A and B are shown apart, each in its own frame.
Chain A
């Protein structure tokens, strides 16, 4: 038997700036087991719910993550609206879809850039982030914040997008599509990229499903889970296409995200076409009394906000289960049997967001 050695990966590692620690058990160059540990930056957001009124907690829920912040805020609001039986105006629901899909574009472009960086394609990394800048500019123009949008509130949204801006959107999206096409062509067709990612970190469909993989990690293995299909918010009135890929390796997960960019722009186009005129919020009176498991699709996968109120202004419990937490067990499965040199690429391929995970 070969001698086993343990190599620590993280909490500080050049490939990702976030602190996750994985103990890699190696036999020669091959990883036989991986033991993860998190908990370096636990912030106790969930406990803070006892000290902040439920209407203010939106701002805190939103700051759980610095990348998919809008979807966190919107999911929290939708959960509360569900408990309190608030009917949100149509326009607000469509606006939430538009901003959510823009966050998805922003997150996927960011990830594609980082991923390119991880497999050593610096030029592609810069290209992806250049395109992402356009998405951020739109965010700032319509919400006032580049990364933390802060436009969702219980009972609707805080800002409207003028109809002239929405009319111009179609042209902007066409430009964005053209730029993203050029970018994703490199990811999908360039042989040097394919060579680095094919058959690296493979996880079977069955494993992905039973180990609770969500989002592109699951869809890359052919498991068609996309919470947008369940029709929360205005998604039930839009045609959502679920992108899947059957191979289950790093290339598949990359391809799913690259193709999802275009489903997002498509969804925004549909929403812009269908958005009705009208109010953007309703007045909220009373306090939540009840519980709800609100689920939504984040760029990284399924997000669960469990909210429980007892009729007072302060919620009893808010539990946020972020997609990265549930993607860690599949990650361990992927790491078992891979080469040490592939570990950084595999870890990044699930799009880990440790700050999210540790709330």
Chain B
């Protein structure tokens, strides 16, 4: 017959520091590889639309004409799939979680990447 088995643990908890942190005064803990939200670097994006195809939540829309890359943060499940498959390495995972919002919106990034004129460079050594 054992009673009050919990007392020892309870006393220890009372006398030690709180296990929780004072969020938001104190920042939430995160690690260098925490999956927070996806960020796109418009200067590197080659508009290949692989991320659009590989997105399991269909959160990404790429418009080649308008040169925009859009992500619906409320659809995105932060699975890292697009970051893994991006051939140009223009997508990265930020450790900060998406801020809370009152309306569902779409975040738009502009693609500023200009295709370098490669063929001309090739011709130069020949001549």
Contact = CB atoms under 8 A, between A and B. Distances in A.
Whether A and B touch (Cβ < 8 Å) is answered with: yes
B19 interface: yes
B30 A123 contact: no
Contacts, number: 66
A133 B79 contact: no
A320 B55 CA distance: 22
A150 B31 contact: no
Contacts of A59: 56, 77, 79, 81
A130 B54 CA distance: 37
B2 to A, nearest CB: 5
Interface in B24-43: 29-31, 33-35
Contacts of A159: 33
B5 A144 contact: no
A127 interface: yes
Nearest to A139: B31
Nearest to B1: A191
Contact of A144 (B1, B9, B34, B54): B34
Contact of A52 (B9, B56, B80): B56
B103 interface: no
Interface in A125-160: 127, 130, 133, 137, 140-141, 143-145, 148, 150, 158-159
Given A123-B10, A150-B79, A150-B80, A185 B5 contact: yes
A189 B1 CA distance: 8
Interface in A150-203: 150, 158-159, 182-183, 185-186, 189-192
B3 interface: yes
B interface: dominant SS: loop
Nearest to B36: A144
B23 to A, nearest CB: 14
A127 B16 CA distance: 13
Contacts of B54: 53, 56
Contact of A141 (B1, B31, B84): B31
A140 B31 contact: yes
A79 B79 CA distance: 21
Contacts of A123: 6, 9-10
B2 A158 contact: no
A124 interface: yes
A150 B79 CA distance: 7
Grouping DSSP codes into helix (H, G, I), strand (E, B) and loop, the A interface class, with mixed when no group exceeds half, is helix
B9 to A, nearest CB: 6
B30 A140 contact: yes
B6 A186 contact: yes
B77 A130 contact: no
B96 interface: no
B13 interface: yes
A303 B123 CA distance: 61
Interface in B78-111: 78-81, 84, 93
Given A123-B10, A140-B34, A144-B34, A57 B56 contact: yes
Contact of B3 (A121, A124, A141, A192): A192
Contact of A189 (B2, B10, B55): B2
20 contacts: A53-B54, A57-B56, A59-B81, A60-B56, A63-B77, A123-B9, A123-B10, A133-B19, A140-B31, A140-B34, A144-B33, A148-B79, A150-B79, A182-B8, A186-B9, A189-B2, A190-B2, A190-B4, A190-B5, A190-B6
Interface of B: 1-6, 8-10, 13, 19, 29-31, 33-35, 54-56, 77-81, 84, 93
- Sort A-B residue pairs by CB-CB distance and give the 4 closest, nearest first: A190-B5, A144-B33, A59-B56, A59-B79
Interface of A: 52-53, 56-57, 59-60, 63, 121, 123-124, 127, 130, 133, 137, 140-141, 143-145, 148, 150, 158-159, 182-183, 185-186, 189-192
